[in-house]
Structure 1
Amino acid sequence: MDRDSSFSAETTDISSGGDDSLAGITVIVCASCRDETGSDAHPRAGELLAEDTRQAASGEQIRIRTVECLGNCKRRLSAAILRDGCWSYVFGDLTTTSGADLVAGAKLFATSTDGLIPWRGRPDSLKRGLVARIPPLDMLKDLI
């Protein structure tokens, strides 16, 4: 994996076909997350979640990236879903097989008209696992 110190991201894009509305969606998975035992074994649980997410997104225009740490270690196995110009979401308490849920959430987000991931239809892991919803920067500029 190619990593730098602050925002390490793999350059793997999942963009072979699919809906154009998904083009502005990115799923970021914390690759350094460990499993519930805290084991330092490799591949780490976060790497397994990233691979599961890539497989679930195969054929979709969803960017899948990994970062070294999302800083959500108490609710390990973390990921975020981002959409250009919209709120961003951080999730925790995921499992190594939550990739399909992340992709389902990304698809809901892509079709949202209000820039939010709708509650209805959201996978349970993305309801229970919500850690934070972060406003887009352009929204904050109006507050200054």
Structure 2
Amino acid sequence: MSPDVVIFVCTTCKREGDAADAPRAGAALAEAATALSGTFRVQPVKCLSSCKRGPTAAIVRPGGWSYVFGQLDIEAAPEALQQGAALLGGSADGLMPWQGRPELLKRNMIARIPPFDFSPAESTP
């Protein structure tokens, strides 16, 4: 497992239908994810630019692919994000395996971003 895996949580995200002055669902998600005693660092960020799909989080690992997830449930997402981070951190090829991935992360993936040093020869379908 890589200790370098970070879970970024957008604190400015709202849920669809939230009033403009409602507390930010993203901030609540960041707080819940930070409070969960997990192996991976949770880093709140001000915006992941996925406003129509909030709350949003990303799981990032140096040398690995980055994953962005949206429309996350505040109660279920913290544990699912920790499980996804464990899968990504334990991956030999830098990809988060589909097998074993929490259902929330299967259904709510927005993007998979290649690592900075990506080579087309390493591309997977």
TM-score, with length taken from structure 1: 0.76
Counterpart for residue 108 of structure 1:
87
Deviation at 1:96, TM superposition (A): 1.3
Counterpart for residue 5 of structure 2:
25
Structure 2 CA distance for partners of 1:91 and 1:59, relative to 1, 3 Å: closer
Deviation at 1:84, TM superposition (A): 0.9
Which stretches in structure 2 are left out of the alignment for 5+ residues? none
Which stretches in structure 1 are left out of the alignment for 5+ residues? 1-20
In the TM superposition, what whole-angstrom CA distance separates every residue of 1:98-134 from its partner, at most 9, and x where no partner exists? Answer: 1111011001111111111110110111001111111
| Residue 74 (str. 1) matches residue 52 (str. 2) | yes
Question: Matches of 2:104 and 2:38 in 1, distance apart?
Answer: 23
RMSD after superposition: 1.9
Deviation at 1:72, TM superposition (A): 0.7
Give % identity: 45
| Residue 39 (str. 1) matches residue 39 (str. 2) | no
Correspondent of 1:129 among 99, 108, 118: 108
2:15–2:71 CA contact under 8 A, matched in 1: no
Q: How many residue pairs end up in the alignment?
A: 120
Paired residue type of 1:136? P
Question: Matches of 1:43 and 1:24 in 2, distance apart?
Answer: 31
Q: Tell me, what secondary structure is at the counterpart of 2:42? A: strand
Correspondent of 1:51 among 22, 25, 31: 31
Question: Matches of 2:20 and 2:78 in 1, distance apart?
Answer: 22
1:52–1:100 CA contact under 8 A, matched in 2: no
Runs ≥4 in structure 1, deviation > 2 angstroms?
A: 35-43
Counterpart for residue 97 of structure 2:
118
TM-score, with length taken from structure 2: 0.87
Q: Tell me, what secondary structure is at the counterpart of 2:117? A: helix
Question: Matches of 2:110 and 2:15 in 1, distance apart?
Answer: 18
Question: Matches of 1:121 and 1:24 in 2, distance apart?
Answer: 21
2:9–2:44 CA contact under 8 A, matched in 1: yes
2:16–2:53 CA contact under 8 A, matched in 1: no
